[in-house]
Amino acid sequence: MRVRGALAALLLTTAAPGASQQRPNIVVLVADDWGFTDVGAFGGEIATPNIDALAAAGVRFSNFHVAGSCAPTRAMLQTGVSSHRAGLGNMPETIPPAHRGKPGYETVLSNRVATLAERLRAAGYRTYLTGKWHLGHTPDTLPTGRGYDRAFALSQSGADNFENKPNLLLYGKADWTEDGKPAQLPRDFYSSRFIVDRMIAYLDGGDRAKPFFASVNFLANHIPLQAPDADIARYRGRYDAGWTALRAARRDGAIARGVMPAGMAMVTMASTPDWAGQFPAEQAQRRGAMEAYAGMATAMDREVGRLVAHLKATDRYDNSVFVFLSDNGAEATDPMASPVPRANAIFNYDQRTMQQGRPGSLTAIGAGFASAASAPLRGYKFTASEGGLRVPMIIAWPGNPAIARGAVAGGFAHVVDVAPTLLQFAGAAPAAAMTGHSLAPMLGGGSMGVRGADEALGYELSGNAVLWKGNLKLVKNLPPYGDGHWHLFDIIADPGETNDLASARPATFKAMKADYRNWAAAEKVLPMPAGYSAPQQIMDNAMDDLLWPRLRPVLGWAAALLGLVAGALLWRRARR
């Protein structure tokens, strides 16, 4: 504890309140749908040299958790409170109609809680955001309504990466805005490049006498997977062996990099098909999708490097705190697996196998390669298993000697901890409602966390639920991701969630279920409707919000035409 206290004290003296020239700049880099081992420094094969350089200059968090999907994570990142308190108990895309508008289920960032940007701006920071927001679409709920001085934002979960076009499976238009007003994209638009271009313009156009907070939110690697040709080409043939071989290689890489324990067990998920049993055409499609996925990640990493290089060139690198994380695990949903989305994609996109990742295309890696991206963990996006919630996270502060360069912090950490950490670095008081803890004591590396062994932390999204306490994790996943029952795992000894301890530790199992009920009652968590399924709800909501509005005028004209035909037939019959 003395070491932790000394480290925290050294960090604070470097960012003393009132000494604006010493307070660090803050750069938060959010990747979309990256699995635990998609970063090279966490054991993966994808080329991410610039993110790896941040890892070498800082600390990798190997036991860091977020929500199972994007908007709830972003709400917690922005506020330091649970997603329910922040208004994102569920997302617009996955919320059942019965929950809409209920307390905690507003599906936009609530004005009941303060944002990190609001707190930092009050402390004298310039505040900027570029890229994905997904926390509201009206002027008061867009970034400039929640504490950002400038923002070029996408209010939706994703969009096309090469043109001003929505994800046509979910939305009628791409809702890009700048400073709260509808915005146009440049003709040479590519999402990762543009998001960094715009952030650099904001940084260079602001008051250099003040420190800045830059929130950089990439669309990579959300569906649709798209990348420049050269980035896709570098991975040609890399994934010919399939997802099972890649999952095993990623486990070995994670162990070698020190972010997973040696000899850890790993499951083969029921949703993972047999690679050898796939038809050659299916294999070609899937490995092409994974090549596009890897190329998209490398393209994003290059833009991270360009931003870092600009900060170095303008003498703002050393005194900048960098936070890198993914908003959830890898995406396993395959739009091509359902008839209506498949028909929509075939009609609106170039679906030829050789075109995957190129402009005009739409593709996804599916459950097989998602299991490899989240290796060596169980589950992926939307689930409450570790593969959905445990993601790569890095904190680097290059000019601060108190940071253990290249270290791994293995203690439990959560996304609600990021906001109080950054406010501490900025010398600003955290908001009273924040439930997270500062991670400063963990920046020396090692296995210590910032919570006591008896402190419980709950989580719920779409009926998938967790209670963490010490090394233990109580978890329940609804179908199709699980059996709807509670299970108990030691996620330090068994991060792959292979050994259910519920029967071996019945008293602990019972006590943790009671802890979860208490947490859920305090957070006003609503039970899910009978038969609820997140993937099905996405399709249902998309039908209601996108397809039916298009069909209603057609159906109206069709009904009118049928009426005229029926009337004519009746008239003829009456005359006879």
Secondary structure letter of residue 324 according to DSSP? E
Residue 19: per-residue pLDDT: 41
State the amino acid at position 236 in one-letter form: R
Is 254 buried (19+), middle (13-18) or exposed (0-12) by CB count in 10 A? buried
Query: What tens-digit pLDDT sequence spans the chain (576 residues)?
Result: 444 555 555 565 544 434 444 899 999 999 999 999 999 999 999 999 999 999 999 999 999 999 999 999 999 999 999 999 999 999 999 999 999 999 999 999 999 999 999 999 999 999 999 999 999 999 999 999 999 999 999 999 999 999 999 998 888 899 999 999 999 999 999 999 999 999 999 999 989 899 999 999 999 999 999 999 999 999 999 999 999 999 999 999 999 999 999 999 999 999 999 999 999 999 999 999 999 999 999 999 999 999 999 999 999 999 999 999 999 999 999 888 777 777 878 888 999 999 999 999 999 999 999 999 999 999 999 999 999 999 999 999 999 999 999 999 999 999 999 999 999 999 998 877 899 999 999 999 888 899 999 999 999 999 999 999 999 999 999 999 999 999 999 999 999 999 999 999 999 999 999 999 999 999 999 999 999 988 889 888 887 766 545 545 544 555 556 666 666 666 666 666
Residue 561: per-residue pLDDT: 61
Q: For 498-514, b where at least 16 C-beta lie within 10 A, e where not — what string? A: eeebbeeeeebbeebbe
Strand segments, DSSP code E, in 240-358 are 320-326
Q: By C-alpha distance, which of 97, 199, 100, 185 is closest to 143? A: 199
Token pair in block for residue 140: 């008061």
Active site residues: 70, 134
Helix (H) or strand (E) holding 467: strand 464-469
Q: By C-alpha distance, which of 164, 119, 159, 115 is closest to 141? A: 115
For domain 2-442, the CATH architecture is 3-Layer(aba) Sandwich (3.40)
Token pair in block for residue 92: 């617009």
Residue 447: per-residue pLDDT: 82
Q: Which residues pair with 326 in a beta bridge?
A: 31
Residue 18: per-residue pLDDT: 40
Residue 555: per-residue pLDDT: 47
Helix (H) or strand (E) holding 456: strand 456-461
